[in-house]
Amino acid sequence: MLALYRTLLWLYPAGYRDQFGEEMIAVFRRADTDTRAKKLAAYAAFCLRECAGLLRGALREQLQHFTGLDSTSLFPLRRFTMRCEFRFPLSTWILMTLILAGVIMAIEKAGAITASLPRSNPHLPPIQPVHYVFLPPFVAMFLVVYLLAALAWTVLFALRRSGMHRLSKLDTAPHQE
């Protein structure tokens, strides 16, 4: 399989092969030795996946080499494109808000339990329900902040779609000669 991998590596442009070829072979060797110990079906799937990935990568690099265009803009496969920056998923802010709300409600409940317990009497009466004082303003504040953030995002998205940000580069002063 290593001989086939080396042969398929020749499909890449020479500069790319010189820069990354040895590293690709070393990584393939490690993965190959790890996968050989598994069942034949798993090893066959590994070989097919590696060959397909090598062919796909060679095609992408050849297109970029000949056209000079980034192939990810031609074929946007976001699932397979690695990026160096880190971004939170869109649902993260919702989950963080739910967790924060749960913590605040637990603090409120603990305050209610503490307030209902007598200080010196060892006999405990039933815990009386206490109205939440802090939670309604906190929820209202978060709703306002989220609505303002959604409004700001909508405005920025609309500006980006309409190209309004390019107006700042316009020269509106009349030229004098």
pLDDT tens digit sequence for 112-144: 888 787 676 566 666 677 677 777 888 889 899
What is the model's pLDDT at position 93?
80
Q: DSSP string spanning 101-168?
A: HHHHHHHHHHHHHHHHS-SS-SSPPPPPP---SSHHHHHHHHHHHHHHHHHHHHHHHHHHHHTGGGGG
- How confident is the model at residue 101, as a pLDDT? 92
Residue 63: strand, helix, or coil: helix
DSSP state, residue 66: H
How much is the pLDDT for 169?
63
DSSP single-letter state for residue 96: H
Q: What is the pLDDT of residue 33?
A: 85
Contact 72, 81 (CB under 8 A): yes
Is the model's pTM score more than 0.85?
Answer: no
pLDDT of residue 71: 56
**Exposed, middle or buried by CB within 10 Å (0-12, 13-18, 19+), for 12?**
buried
What whole-number distance in Å separates Cα of residue 119 and Cα of residue 117?
Answer: 6
Domain layout of the chain by residue ranges:
2-74, 92-118+129-165
For the chain, list residues with pLDDT below 70: 69-88, 118, 120-127, 130, 161-177
The number of angstroms, rounded, from the C-alpha of 133 to the middle of its chain's C-alpha atoms is 37
